[in-house]
Structure 1
Amino acid sequence: MRLVFAGTPETALPSLRALLESSHEVVAVVTRPDGRAGRGRRLSPSPVAEFAAEAGIEVLKPSRAGDPEFLDRLREIAPDCCPVVAYGALLPPEALEIPRYGWVNLHFSLLPAWRGAAPVQRAILHGDDMTGAATFQIEEGLDTGPVYGVLTEPIRPDDTAGDLLERLAVAGADLLVDTMNGIEQGVLEPRPQPTEGVSHAAKLTPEDARVDWSSPALHIDRLIRACTPAPGAWTTFRDTRVKLGPVRLRPDAEKLPPGELRPGKHEVLVGTATHPVALGDVQPQGKRRMPAADWARGLDLTDKDAFH
């Protein structure tokens, strides 16, 4: 089939590579416009745009998927199907009707669970034991379309959102190719999603990522893992922001008041509503990441010092 691939971040690259190695022809990619990144805030192409350009594939960067110029070019290309992985923009009806087999999204959850922008993060935060990926036909509703295929993936106790998303992106690439094959061969029919078990995965904001030390240790562990690497969990110490890496649960340690710090030779404990957690890496504002014990040794901690 003639394909136009839509995607933007690194997460989409395994699928794009897999489709390029398949029997299908990727004739163009659609991605978000260049964005500002890095300390210099320079305009930079998305990872998908950069990869496609190096591969000699036409790159389309509409500011909106409903732009008349973009729709006209898509009609000229006349794709059979448009596979989508983390494109990051809404597709209007005018765009949805152009490919013969529509737009097929690879979504990183077991639909109808966790429809929306942050399915992996929300699954970890919610404490799910299992997640997965699904390919489905895009329609006007948010991740509501009928499903072609699924795969499952256990959530490990130490998984960050980055870890889990990396595994799903690789496994999901094969699922997406299989879905394209099945559509071409006429052996796949999408099935409507169940009406029960629907949940929504709103994007986690930096404010969501602030740690509340009066929460139970298990919730704090999940929150930090769900926010790693983005938007990045944080707390305040001496009125400045400190970024936090994943922590370790310490149910055997002596209980501490929420936010209280207890430095040791090899670890730093922090109090929660239940038992303490041991800090992993920390990054004070304007400084590099470092192990928590190294950070604490460089401070003259007092009894009044705590995370807030």
Structure 2
Amino acid sequence: MRLVFAGTPAPAVPSLRRLAASAHDIAAVVTRRDAPVGRKRVLTPSPVAAAAEELGLPVIRADRLDEDATGRIAALAPDLGVIVAYGGLVREPLLSTPAHGWINLHFSLLPRWRGAAPVQHALIAGDAQTGASVFQLVPELDAGDVFGELAVDIPGDATAGDLLASLAEDGAGLLAEVVDAIGTGAAVARPQAGEVTYAGKLGDEDGRIRWDEPAPAVLGRIRGVTPEPGAHTTIEGARFKVLAVAEAPADAPVLAPGMLALHGKEVLAGTGSTPIVLDTVQPAGKGAMRAADWWRGLRDATPVAGS
């Protein structure tokens, strides 16, 4: 088939590479425009744009799939549109432009966690399982019939970044299978069934650690917002980032929520239940460091983290 692929961030790249290596023809890759990155705000292509150019594929840069983008895509006469984390909505008439419409690779087991940040919300909610779904794009958000899915158990120490990278690789294979099935006419889609939940885009407030919550909830939030938007608290009024955490050993002392203490060689933080271990942190104005190294530089041996 003749495909148009739309995607922007790194998790979309494995799918693009998988389809580029298939028997299908990618007529164009649609991605968001180059954006300023880093402290120097250097204008940088999206990960998908960089991969497409490496693969020698035509690129359409568009922050919105507006009339101009729709016209350029329609002129390619695609058989199928494929979208993976593009970052914009596909509306009519573009939705109906490809002969087979559009399919979307989404990183959850639909209808749980429809929306922009499904992996992050699954971790924050303490879900034991997640996965990836390939579904037919319809006007309603992530509500189309599902062609295929894969389920995975969530590792206890996985961050959102870890889990998304893994699902991006596994999901690329699932997506390629569905594209092949649509091409041969063998694809069968089923309506979504089950409780619908939504995973809105996360903001800075979502990364604020609630120390009065029980340890599993604190660990889930920190891992769910890592690397973006990032977990943070305050110590003596200054922002303090928490980059990596672990469960505390069984003999860890009870600490009040937000209280920090050294236990052996580990820095503990109190929660609403048992404490957790701070592994890697980033104090204000400094780089990432081991929590134990940060602790050794303190004057006050029992700081309290803000809520």
**TM-score normalised by the chain length of structure 2:** 0.96
> Which one is further off, 129-138 or 260-269?
260-269
Q: Which position in structure 1 is the counterpart of 2:21?
A: 21
1:41 maps onto 2:41 in alignment: yes
Contact 1:106 1:176 in 2 (8 A): yes
Q: What CA distance in whole angstroms lies between the structure 1 residues aligned with 2:54 and 2:177?
A: 25
| C-alpha separation in 1, matches of 2:264 and 2:300 | 14
Report the residue type matching 1:225 in the other structure: R
Cα drift, residue 211 of structure 1: 0.5
Shift of 1:302: 4.4
Moved more, 124-133 or 11-20: 124-133
CA distance in 2, matches of 1:94, 1:252: 62
Aligned-partner Cα distance in 2 for 1:264–1:122: 31
Question: Aligned pair 1:271/2:270, yes or no?
Answer: yes
1:14 maps to a residue whose letter is P
Letter in 2 for 1:64: R
- Counterpart of 1:246, as a letter, is A
Match of 2:10 in 1: 10
Partner in structure 2 of residue 297 of structure 1: 296
Counterpart Cα distance in 2 of 1:61 and 1:142? 23
Structure 2 match to 1:161: 160
Structure 1 spans left out of the alignment, 5+ residues: none
Deviation, 1:263, is 2.2
Does 1:242 find its partner at 2:232? no
Unaligned runs of 5+ in 2: none
Matched position secondary structure for 1:287 = coil
Given that residues 256 and 270 in structure 1 are in contact (C-alpha distance below 8 angstroms), is that contact kept between their aligned partners in structure 2? yes
Aligned-residue CA RMSD (Å):
1.2
SS at match of 1:224: helix
- Report if aligned partners of 1:113, 1:199 keep a CA contact under 8 Å in 2: yes
d(CA) in 1 for partners of 2:51, 2:23: 19
User: 1:307 maps to which residue?
Assistant: 305
- Secondary structure at the aligned position of 2:191 is classed as coil
Q: Aligned to 1:263, what secondary structure does the other structure show? A: strand
* Structure 2 equivalent of residue 210 of structure 1: 208
Per the alignment, residue 129 of structure 1 pairs with 128
Structure 2 equivalent of residue 115 of structure 1: 114
CA-CA distance at 1:97 after TM superposition:
1.0
* Identical residues among aligned pairs (%): 48
TM-score (norm 1): 0.96
Give 3-state SS (helix, strand or coil) of 2:28's partner.
Answer: strand
| Aligned positions, number | 305
Residues 82-120 of structure 1: per-residue CA shift (max 9 Å, x gap): 111101101111110110011100000111111001111
* Aligned equivalents of 1:27, 1:145: Cα separation in 2: 24
The equivalent residue for 2:173 is 174
